[in-house]
Amino acid sequence: MRNFLHKLKLYLPLIKSAQTGLLLLTGITGYVSSHCPFMNWQTFLGLSGSLFLTISGSTILNMVYDRDIDSKMKRTKNRPLPSGKLNVSEVLFLGLIISFAGIAWALYMNVLFGLVVFAGIFIDVIIYTVWLKRKTAWAIFWGGVSGGMPILAGRVLGTGEIDIIGILFAVAILLWIPTHILTFSMRYFEDYERAGIPTISSVYGNKNTQLIIALSSFGAALSIGLVAFSLGLSWGYLRLLTVLATGIIGLALLSVFRPSEQINFGLFKYASMYMFGSMIMVILGTIK
């Protein structure tokens, strides 16, 4: 039992619970936004379960592939894989099993939903991590595309088709990802340099990166606002979304005009808070 708990403690960080949780929330938001009878527990369980498995699986597979990079970074060198606390083949096996289980469950529920879920994991693991991450700073775009798949999948499960709202949702996440990732890569600039990973700030400089962050934050806020408006959310929710958007745009502009380490990391943290808050607003606004 003690051994099992010890192993579980080592395995848990592999799924990056906060990131997985946020992506799962976006998937649920996409589904609830379709005005489905979301209290249908079988569908809701299937959506949550399949997305949780696929997102966790892709995160584990990424960790396996990136273990050499992680071992070079101060921030990640103590993770279970680069520090040798876990067996690589064992983790790879687990990642594959979880991913396949998630995709199979999703396909069983609805073929189109399953295909979008599969596209998400394929783009994340194969295109982003394996193919592009070490070659170009623009790999982040594909990271954004894969990040937008859970919300699109949730919407597809609810509506049975890929509609304009689902695409706008995915675009919102795609545009939000640079704010999330670029602020992070700026904070850990030296780590990324040491590992030889090209980032927008290492290739184009901090000033241009901050400009991209500001533009993408504005785009993400605009997309979420458009989706909320199209979904017919009440003015109260739209007002609150505007307030939250003012926060992310304001901080992004501050990072351009008054750049500092504190503002940069504050923006990183606020971006997650913004996405979480916006998703909750869309859920509450739709249910109401």
Partner 1 sequence: MSKISIINRIIFLLTAHFAGYMVVSGIEAYSRLTIFYYTIAFGTLLLSSLLLMLFGFEILKNDLIIIFSMFIPAGLSLGLICEYLPDIYYIYLAISIIGILAVIISRFYMYERTRIIMIAIVHGVFGLTLFFLPFFLVINGKQDKSIIFISIGSLIISLAGLLQTFLKTGKSIILEEKFYKLFPLILLSATAFFVAGLGI
Closest to partner 1 by CB, 11 vs 276, is 276
Is residue 236 close enough to count as binding partner 1 by CB under 8 A? yes
Q: C-beta of 253: minimal distance to partner 1 in Å?
A: 11
CA-CA-CA-CA torsion sign (209, 214, 219, 221): positive
The residue from 9, 230, 239, 287 that contacts partner 1 (CB under 8 A) is: 239
Burial zone of 221 (CB within 10 Å; 0-12 exposed, 13-18 middle, 19+ buried): buried
Q: What separation in angstroms does the CA of 180 have from each of 19, 183, 274?
A: 11, 6, 11
Single out the segment in contact with partner 1 by CB under 8 A; choices: 129-137, 139-147, 159-167, 243-251: 243-251
The residue from 108, 138, 246, 287 that contacts partner 1 (CB under 8 A) is: 246
Q: C-beta of 276: minimal distance to partner 1 in Å?
A: 11
Is residue 269 close enough to count as binding partner 1 by CB under 8 A? yes
Closest to partner 1 by CB, 125 vs 267, is 267
Q: What distance in Å separates the CA atoms of residue 263 and residue 211, rounded to the nearest whole number?
A: 14
Is residue 232 close enough to count as binding partner 1 by CB under 8 A? no
Contacts 24+ apart (CB under 8 A), 256-264: 256/207, 256/210, 256/211, 256/213, 256/214, 259/206, 259/210, 261/187, 264/183, 264/186, 264/187
| 19 and 63 Cβ atoms separated by less than 8 Å | no
* Helical spans, DSSP H, in 66-148: 67-72, 88-109, 111-121, 139-147
Is residue 254 close enough to count as binding partner 1 by CB under 8 A? yes
Q: C-beta of 180: minimal distance to partner 1 in Å?
A: 14
Dihedral (Cα; 55, 202, 218, 280), 10-degree rounding: 30
Closest by CA position to 15, among listed 56, 54, 64: 56
Is residue 266 close enough to count as binding partner 1 by CB under 8 A? yes
- Written as six digits, the tokens of 247 are 């926060």
Estimate to the nearest angstrom the gap between the alpha carbon of 82 and the chain centroid: 23
The residue from 237, 264, 275, 282 that contacts partner 1 (CB under 8 A) is: 237
Binding-site string for partner 1 from residue 190 to residue 229, where x marks contact by CB under 8 A and - marks none? ----------------------------------------
- Written as six digits, the tokens of 265 are 């990391």
Is residue 176 close enough to count as binding partner 1 by CB under 8 A? no
Closest to partner 1 by CB, 56 vs 210, is 210
| # chain residues binding partner 1, by CB under 8 A | 17
Closest to partner 1 by CB, 208 vs 260, is 260
Q: C-beta of 243: minimal distance to partner 1 in Å?
A: 4
Is residue 111 close enough to count as binding partner 1 by CB under 8 A? no
How many residues are listed for the chain in this entry? Answer: 288
Q: C-beta of 251: minimal distance to partner 1 in Å?
A: 8
Is residue 240 close enough to count as binding partner 1 by CB under 8 A? yes
Binding site for partner 1 (CB under 8 A): 234, 236-237, 239-240, 242-243, 246-247, 250, 254, 258, 262, 266, 269-270, 273
